A and B are shown apart, each in its own frame.
Chain A
Amino acid sequence: MSPDPFRRLDRIDPPEQWDEITRRAAASGVDLDLGAVPDIRPRRRATALVAAAAAIALVAGIAIAGVGDAGDEEEHTATTTAPAPADEGTTCPFAVESLPGVALDESIVPPHDLALGQDATSREGTVDGRSLRVTVGVPGALASEGHSVGSATVDGEQTEAWTTYRAPLDAGQRPEGAADPRCTAAEVAIDATGFVGSGEGNDTFDGEALAPLQDRAEEILAAVRLSPPAEGGTTTSTVPAEQLALDGDCPFRLEPAVGTGPLRPIDRPPDANAQRSDRPATWGSVTVAGVEVLVGVGESDPQRNPTVGDRTGYEGGGGQAPGTDTLEGSGWVAEEGPCSFVSARAYLPAVARPEDTSSTVPEPVELPSSEVILVSQRLEWLVDVVLDAVVVQGPDQDDLVLDCVSRGPDALPTSGGTRCPQDPDPATLPPVTFPDDFGEAEPPEPPSPAARPGEVYFEAEAWDGFPIYVTRGERGVCVTAHAGSESCSGGADPKGLSMVEVPDPETGEPGGVVLLGARPAGTASTEVRSANGPVPGAEVTVAPDGQWFVAWVPIPFTELGMQPWPVVHRDAEGTEIPL
């Protein structure tokens, strides 16, 4: 499956409906029953966020610009007088020499159009009557070396197709004395219209037919030679090599906040994507409150419309690799650039973080939803602490604190701070503990019905995932749900209702109730009512034999406005059955 299958829907153009909406709005029709739809106010953070984001953007800008500034002072060997790539700091400044059989245009493609992103420079031209693009950049920007094929289709019609070859440049392809790490990889893309099918993906082309075109791309890449820009220009990297993205990663170091303990450099986790796309990132690992949290800083995906200071929220996931169940929180420190995105991720302790993607990776462990929710809350809190604490430290020692947005602009550190002033010191955080039997095959009770007297009669759900079990045994018909509550009904009198409360899994506050009762003879339908009518969100589950029901009501008991009999049974003709 592609990383984001929903992007497949982006190619569907919705119908224009404004005229229809105007017609309906003007019609004197009767509204559908939407009276219960709450008119919630926006939940986004308001002005405080804007102010804080602006402040963070300023800090980020200073620090990231500092890389280039330092280099300008120390390592420039010539002044830039010729037309140069837009980003002098990280873009390869060298020109691509003439290529045999290739007519290169003079213009340089704007960086935002480049396949290799901002850290590359590119020229377009033609070869054998087909258009091509030659791009030079840092090797880390090469998503995958070798050949690839792609196409774009609009309304089922192919608009472009290309074959691409990517490879590192060897020393002989670069001018002597300019072992510039910004110019150590290249990509050649050739128009492949007619060779690639109308669909997208690599499965719609004829490999044999495409092979000559791919060979040509290899030949051209092997012939690439770089030369300094005409009329003088930058001939040495403006960025110290050891701090430039030698392998495409963010050149900044990751430093833990005071108290989090040492940050251990690690390789990219096998299932890690910086922001769901395969973008360069630098990763580290830190143990906080007894749990390992991985921290990555890398390049933001501009398609996600990054807002500096904002966060993506938390994404629990089955992971990009088998055997993982992860929780990741992320945030932006800049709109673009190799250090614009920071993420922190933790793993559910039931499954170990895989060291590689080989067959030794354990099979995924399916956990009961109730456990996952509870543990996720703890990990969210932990990841949040780490995100707040992370400092992206640049070579000029200007630190970037990810954000203190949630605490308001006044909480921003004045300079070089390491954490928001009122944040708890991570070193003093209490350890995060998990149930001893977390993740084992047998779920702990409750909600396991195994240890309950009697047999499972039927099941339902609360909170869209917490199991509700109804059992039959010596104590009669019983209902048990999350939090270990249990209530039994000794007889089958429809006037009697058993009830258990189910707390909100996030807050632990009273969240909802489960009602259990018998249905009178002749009942065709059962619904839960409050003083104001049907209870929104209430879900009634009826036993297979129709004699009992259990109702999940996601409203605290104190707010339900119970009538003497909140449950109404009706016969097949819709007539209420008196109790």
Chain B
Amino acid sequence: MTTSPGLDRLRPVYEEVHARLWRAVLAWSGSAEVADEAVAEAFAQAARRGDALHDPAAWIWRSAFRIAAGDLARIRREPTEPLGDHEVAQRSGLAIPGEAIDLLRALQQLGDQQRRAVVLTDGAGFPAPEAAALMGTTAATVRVQASRARRRLRHLLADPETAPQTPEADR
């Protein structure tokens, strides 16, 4: 198999960020398929760019989410069923604990920006300024969005039936 000149440079990046990135995209998209596709494609495109990237890891993070957003938009244009209890696991063949599926389902009830903010900060561990750089927004916005997301997640994970439905302040 022919290899890209950027692959050698990317291997350490892969070792360092792949698992965290994959889980973050999974959490944000709610789909293991989307996570598989977006993460692999982001790495592949980074490899093709070779040394042109100053910071491959940051570029891959941003690209993976952008690709995932495109995939999600495509999926949402197609008729689909709501995320079922074990849909993620069945699609991917992965063993995903029930608690994790509960979290994934709760995340899907958040707005896009809230979900991305809380996934990047709480899930992937980025400080707000770095998450803001990845999201293309400001650190203050990330903090506010993440804070609102945490509050709503607490409700959703404690009692999904009584969780507020996207209150104004949660936008």
Kindly state whether residue A110 has any CB partner on chain B within 8 Å. no
Residues of A within 8 A of B45 (CB): 31-32, 34
- Compute how far the CA of A143 lies from the CA of B128 in the bound complex, rounded to whole angstroms: 29
Kindly state whether residue A22 has any CB partner on chain B within 8 Å. yes
Stretch at the interface among A119-127, A214-222, A364-372, A408-416: A364-372
Residues of A within 8 A of B146 (CB): 315-316
Q: Which of A12, A156, A316, A317 has the most CB of B within 10 A?
A: A12
The answer to whether A465 touches B7 (Cβ under 8 A) is: no
The answer to whether B139 touches A21 (Cβ under 8 A) is: no
Closest to A201 in B: B99
The answer to whether B53 touches A39 (Cβ under 8 A) is: yes
> B66 contacts which of A6, A18, A37 (Cβ < 8 Å)?
A37
Closest to A32 in B: B67
Kindly state whether residue B39 has any CB partner on chain A within 8 Å. yes
- Compute how far the CA of A418 lies from the CA of B2 in the bound complex, rounded to whole angstroms: 60
Q: 1/0 per position for B136-168, CB-CB distance to A under 8 A?
A: 111111011111101101100110000000011
Residues of A within 8 A of B81 (CB): none
Residues of A within 8 A of B55 (CB): 39-42
Q: Which of B14, B18, B141 has the most CB of A within 10 A?
A: B141
Task: Determine how close the nearest CB of chain B comes to the CB of A471; give it in whole angstroms.
Answer: 17
Within 8 A of B (CB), among A521-548: 536-537
Q: Which residues of B contact A (CB under 8 A)?
A: 1-4, 6-7, 10-11, 14, 18-19, 22-23, 26-27, 35-36, 39-41, 43-45, 47-48, 52-55, 58-59, 62-63, 66-67, 70, 92, 94-100, 102-103, 113, 119, 121-123, 127-130, 133, 136-141, 143-148, 150-151, 153-154, 157-158, 167-169, 171
Task: Determine how close the nearest CB of chain B comes to the CB of A106; give it in whole angstroms.
Answer: 38
Closest to B152 in A: A318
Q: Which of A9, A24, A376, A461 has the most CB of B within 10 A?
A: A9
- Compute how far the CA of A461 lies from the CA of B55 in the bound complex, rounded to whole angstroms: 31
Given A24-B41, A314-B128: A43 and B141 within 8 A (CB)? Answer: no
> A554 contacts which of B3, B19, B96, B137 (Cβ < 8 Å)?
B137
- Compute how far the CA of A79 lies from the CA of B104 in the bound complex, rounded to whole angstroms: 57
Closest to B89 in A: A12
Closest to B27 in A: A9
> B36 contacts which of A8, A12, A17 (Cβ < 8 Å)?
A17
Residues of B within 8 A of A100 (CB): none
Task: Determine how close the nearest CB of chain A comes to the CB of B127; give it in whole angstroms.
Answer: 3
Kindly state whether residue A243 has any CB partner on chain B within 8 Å. no
- Compute how far the CA of A40 lies from the CA of B129 in the bound complex, rounded to whole angstroms: 13
The answer to whether A21 touches B44 (Cβ under 8 A) is: yes
Given A14-B23, A464-B141: A26 and B1 within 8 A (CB)? Answer: yes
The answer to whether A34 touches B63 (Cβ under 8 A) is: yes
- Compute how far the CA of A14 lies from the CA of B128 in the bound complex, rounded to whole angstroms: 25
Residues of B within 8 A of A316 (CB): 143-144, 146-147
Residues of B within 8 A of A24 (CB): 40-41, 43-44
The answer to whether B97 touches A38 (Cβ under 8 A) is: no
Given A313-B127, A316-B147: A13 and B3 within 8 A (CB)? Answer: no
Residues of A within 8 A of B127 (CB): 312-313
Closest to A366 in B: B169
Q: 1/0 per position for A367-405, CB-CB distance to B under 8 A?
A: 111001100110000000000000000000000000000
Residues of B within 8 A of A464 (CB): 113, 137, 141, 144-145
Kindly state whether residue A4 has any CB partner on chain B within 8 Å. yes
Residues of B within 8 A of A554 (CB): 136-137
Kindly state whether residue A455 has any CB partner on chain B within 8 Å. no
Kindly state whether residue A463 has any CB partner on chain B within 8 Å. yes
Residues of B within 8 A of A20 (CB): 40
List 5 A–B pairs whose Cβ atoms lie within 8 Å, in order of A's numbering: A20-B40, A34-B67, A42-B58, A315-B147, A373-B140
The answer to whether A373 touches B95 (Cβ under 8 A) is: no
Task: Determine how close the nearest CB of chain B comes to the CB of A51; give it in whole angstroms.
Answer: 21
Kindly state whether residue A444 has any CB partner on chain B within 8 Å. no
- Compute how far the CA of A40 lies from the CA of B63 in the bound complex, rounded to whole angstroms: 12
Task: Determine how close the nearest CB of chain A comes to the CB of B46; give it in whole angstroms.
Answer: 8
> B23 contacts which of A9, A17, A377, A463 (Cβ < 8 Å)?
A9
- Compute how far the CA of A155 lies from the CA of B97 in the bound complex, rounded to whole angstroms: 8
Kindly state whether residue A200 has any CB partner on chain B within 8 Å. yes
- Compute how far the CA of A547 lies from the CA of B54 in the bound complex, rounded to whole angstroms: 45
> B62 contacts which of A14, A21, A37, A317 (Cβ < 8 Å)?
A37
- Compute how far the CA of A325 lies from the CA of B169 in the bound complex, rounded to whole angstroms: 13
Task: Determine how close the nearest CB of chain A comes to the CB of B154; give it in whole angstroms.
Answer: 5
Closest to A304 in B: B125
Residues of A within 8 A of B94 (CB): 12-13, 15
> A39 contacts which of B59, B66, B151 (Cβ < 8 Å)?
B59
Residues of A within 8 A of B158 (CB): 1
Kindly state whether residue A417 has any CB partner on chain B within 8 Å. no
- Compute how far the CA of A317 lies from the CA of B146 in the bound complex, rounded to whole angstroms: 8
The answer to whether A37 touches B95 (Cβ under 8 A) is: no
Task: Determine how close the nearest CB of chain A comes to the CB of B20; give it in whole angstroms.
Answer: 9
